[in-house]
Copies of this chain bind each other. A is one copy, B any other.
Amino acid sequence: MSITQAEIKQIRSLREKKFRDAYGQFVVEGEKMVQEALSSGFEVVKVVWREEIGEAAMARISQLSTPSPVLAVVSRPKTSGITPGEGLYLGLDGVRDPGNLGTILRLADWFGVEAVFLSEDCVEEFNPKTIQSSMGSIFRVQVEKTDLAALCRRFREAGKPVWGTFLDGRDIYREPLSPGGLVLMGNESAGIRPEVAAEVDGRLLIPSFGRSGAESLNVAAATAVTLSEFRRR
């Protein structure tokens, strides 16, 4: 197999969100990730091996500082509207850091979360850093961008509880938690915005045990503690 200059240019362009949006495609790299893509329900458009196109061409299309031996171009799935059902759902309000989102998707996968909803201003789930830090969970966890306040109302109308983490919430270790429902996590510095917070039934706090003044947890670390608490009971 060879690769044309036009193909190199098109794959390179997928580094940028506007081209990922235009083509409806994204790139994954490394043998493990490509294998996960092929065994997922996602459509793999193209697999490119370094051995077949040569080092120089691979370095041009790779998004990594050390180009991996294999890369795949994958079609983004058509999101068709996830219907909230039984089980546990996660909602992220303004999570901006791609690495945080990837780590949270990996956590959602580990803890069996049904789907992850993102507010419109969250980082894109197909951001290269998000994909890499999700360690393949991007292929296993349902993700949808949506209006979180409206989503909260849908959960509540269906009789399902809506939880959120706040600095003035109630001790998560002592609060009776539901096996299902929607759990909201907020932006790295601003937390959950007021119009979304207004829709929350259960305000939770992860208490600090330090004496010295850590002001908050990283949002992925807080998600880890929160999902662990919902799941262990």
Interface residues, chain A, with chain B CB atoms under 8 Å away: 99, 103, 106-107, 109-112, 133, 135-137, 140-141, 173, 206, 208-218, 220-225, 228-229, 231-232
Contacts and interface: CB of A to CB of B under 8 A. Distances in A.
Contacts of A109: 210, 212-214
Contacts of A173: 232
Contacts of A217: 106-107, 110, 224
Contacts of A231: 209
A189 to B, nearest CB: 10
A99, A112, A224 pick with most chain B CB within 10 angstroms: A224
Nearest to A212: B140
Contacts of A212: 109, 140-141
Nearest to A40: B212
Contacts of A215: 135
A225 B103 CA distance: 14
B140 A110 contact: no
Contacts of A211: 112
A221 B107 contact: yes
Nearest to A36: B213
A9 to B, nearest CB: 26
B218 A218 contact: no
A44 to B, nearest CB: 18
Given A99-B99, A210-B111, A210-B112, A106 B221 contact: yes
A99 B224 CA distance: 16
3 closest A-B pairs (Cβ-Cβ)? A112-B209, A224-B224, A109-B214
A214 B106 contact: yes
23 contacts: A99-B99, A106-B218, A107-B218, A107-B221, A109-B214, A112-B209, A112-B211, A135-B215, A137-B214, A140-B212, A141-B212, A173-B232, A218-B220, A220-B221, A220-B224, A221-B221, A221-B223, A221-B224, A224-B225, A224-B228, A225-B225, A225-B228, A228-B229
A212 to B, nearest CB: 4
A99 B218 CA distance: 11
